[in-house]
Amino acid sequence: MAYASTYTTAQQGTADRLVGFASNLVERFKKARAFRKTMNELYGLTNAQLADMGLNRSMIRRVAYQAVYEV
């Protein structure tokens, strides 16, 4: 008994790759802007306000990164 299989691969054209690159770039810029905004907002809080949230100043960068990039 013989089996025949046909595999087709998706061919991406230059335009498809360019659109994918542009959308990836836009997404990265949006995340970078959200990261900066989160950092600025957290740095604007007083030490007492940060302590109420269970944070200190040395944790701000990590917390902002986790919030934006969901790591």
Helix H or strand E encompassing 1: none
**Inside any domain, residue 64:** yes
Which residues, 6 or more positions from 20, have their beta carbon under 8 angstroms from its beta carbon? 12
Q: Using one digit for the tens of pLDDT, what is the confidence trace for 8-22?
A: 666 778 888 999 999
The pTM of the full predicted model, rounded to 2 decimals, is 0.73
**Inside any domain, residue 62:** yes
**Inside any domain, residue 18:** no
pLDDT of residue 3: 80
Domain of 39, in residue numbers = 31-71
Domain count, the chain: 1
**Inside any domain, residue 23:** no
**Inside any domain, residue 8:** no
Mean pLDDT of 48-55: 96
**Inside any domain, residue 63:** yes
**Inside any domain, residue 24:** no
